[in-house]
Amino acid sequence: MDERYKEYLDRVLDEIDNNKESFISTSTYIWENPEIGHKEFKAMEALVELLRNNGFQIETRVAGLDTAFLATVKGKKPGPTIALMAEYDALEGLGHACGHNLFSVSAVATAIGLKKVIQEIGGTIKVIGTPAEEGTVKNAGGKAIMAEKGIFDDVDIAMICHAEGRTIIERRLVAATVMEVSFTGKAAHAGGSPEKGINALTAGVLTINNINALRQHFLQGTIVNPVIIEGGIGHNTIPHKCEMKMSIRATNREILKDVLEMVERCISASAYVTGCKYSINMPNKVYEDLRPNHSLALVFKEALEYLGIDYIQAEDANYSWDAGNISHLCPTIAPYIKIGSPELVGHTEEFKKASCSKEGFNGMIVGAKAMAMTALKYILDKDFRDRVSKEFLAK
């Protein structure tokens, strides 16, 4: 570690430590006031206030999203643009059982730390507030929406951390989406005149059977999980309506496209056999697979080692994240940071408790410091920037 880097690093890390209590206070406030996607007004305001008070230029309602924001600070000389992504939505009925209250603040803490030296080292730091990461609300995928609106066009690298029971630097995630299917048939008395009916529920059941018949041909990592939301209201009436919802995942976006076509054939065949009409709705953006950038990840690893944190270098998982969409636009890292027991499972009460705990707050600060160290090296080291870019462009 050269003296120039060490001097800047000490100042950045000290700034994060000096503001630790305000970071914990903001994270706790967000945890105590959980809001689902596209309704995160309190969380957005709390994060924006923290950034505004630290001298960032603020834009709200970015990309036409009511709870999106952009906070920017620029150095006196040109340099790369670093994006720190913040997500702050909660789960309906569960609250912050995914830890977004921690790592939205972690992104803000990174930016505040870097601001301490940005005038001297140059470049631009952006905190991009991205709503509705959880795919449980309509029009989920704030990062994908903002990417389509050009918010990431001038970004050189992007970073975000996520809560976990272990620290994992390169977690390779899959592409995923949600499909809604509606079959429309014709109601009739199930005993007296069944021949006059068209059974929409049968179409739904056949769709599931058709999908099951194709499972042996699915590539590894492909998951199609259909459920019937509505299949009739009376046992003595032919169901005229069947509503289905499916979670669909595949290793990458190209395979996902093929799987979606396969599923649509299953739906179409079921409608043809039963005589039903059908419609398909895709309520959310596709969450694309997360493209790793090993060069960035290695520097993040060095940061964790400097901080004395144990880690797992790489792991495959069938989770999906709209951070994957950004990884196809610019070099991106999205590490998972330990906030509690290794047995923690996301979207549970135990995870929610860990998200407002001493170990959770420690993980929040670890993520902030490691991202700050990675960003600092990226701004100061042209050879490192070239390695990151070369790897990204080679894929």
Q: Could you give the number of structural domains in the chain? A: 2
Q: Which two tokens stand for residue 164?
A: 């976990």
Q: Report the distance separating Cα 351 and Cα 31, nearest Å.
A: 12
List, edge to edge, every strand of the sheet that includes 223-230.
223-230, 241-250, 175-184, 277-281
- Examine the domain organization and report whether 121 and 244 are in the same domain: no
CA nearest to 219, candidates 247, 178, 256: 256
Q: Which two tokens stand for residue 219?
A: 């590539």
- Examine the domain organization and report whether 14 and 44 are in the same domain: yes
Say what the pLDDT of residue 226 is.
98
- Examine the domain organization and report whether 301 and 251 are in the same domain: no
Residue ranges of the chain with pLDDT lower than 50? Answer: none
Q: Which of 236, 252, 281 is the last residue of a domain?
A: 281
Q: Report the distance separating Cα 76 and Cα 235, nearest Å.
A: 72
- Examine the domain organization and report whether 161 and 305 are in the same domain: yes
- Examine the domain organization and report whether 77 and 139 are in the same domain: yes
- Examine the domain organization and report whether 51 and 168 are in the same domain: yes
The stretches of the chain forming alpha helices (DSSP H) are 3-18, 20-32, 41-52, 100-121, 142-148, 200-214, 253-274, 294-307, 323-327, 349-354, 358-380, 382-393
Say what the pLDDT of residue 271 is.
98
- Examine the domain organization and report whether 29 and 157 are in the same domain: yes
Q: Which of 256, 281, 306 is the last residue of a domain?
A: 281
- Examine the domain organization and report whether 67 and 161 are in the same domain: yes
User: DSSP secondary structure string, 257-316?
Assistant: HHHHHHHHHHHHHHHHHHT-EEEEE--S--B------HHHHHHHHHHHHHHT---EEEEE
Bridge-based pairing of strands 81-86 and 223-230 is unpaired
At 130, the amino acid letter reads T
Say what the pLDDT of residue 372 is.
98
Instruction: List the CATH number of the domain containing 64.
Output: 3.40.630.10
- Examine the domain organization and report whether 38 and 143 are in the same domain: yes
- Examine the domain organization and report whether 228 and 269 are in the same domain: yes
Instruction: List the CATH number of the domain containing 201.
Output: 3.30.70.360
- Examine the domain organization and report whether 22 and 121 are in the same domain: yes
Q: Which of 230, 247, 281 is the last residue of a domain?
A: 281
Q: Which two tokens stand for residue 326?
A: 């950004």
The residue segments making up the domain with residue 349 are: 3-173+290-393
pTM for the full predicted model: 0.94
Q: Is the dihedral of CA 39, 41, 46, 52 positive or negative?
A: positive
Say what the pLDDT of residue 1 is.
62
- Examine the domain organization and report whether 168 and 303 are in the same domain: yes
Q: Is the dihedral of CA 302, 303, 306, 311 positive or negative?
A: negative
Q: Report the distance separating Cα 152 and Cα 179, nearest Å.
A: 27
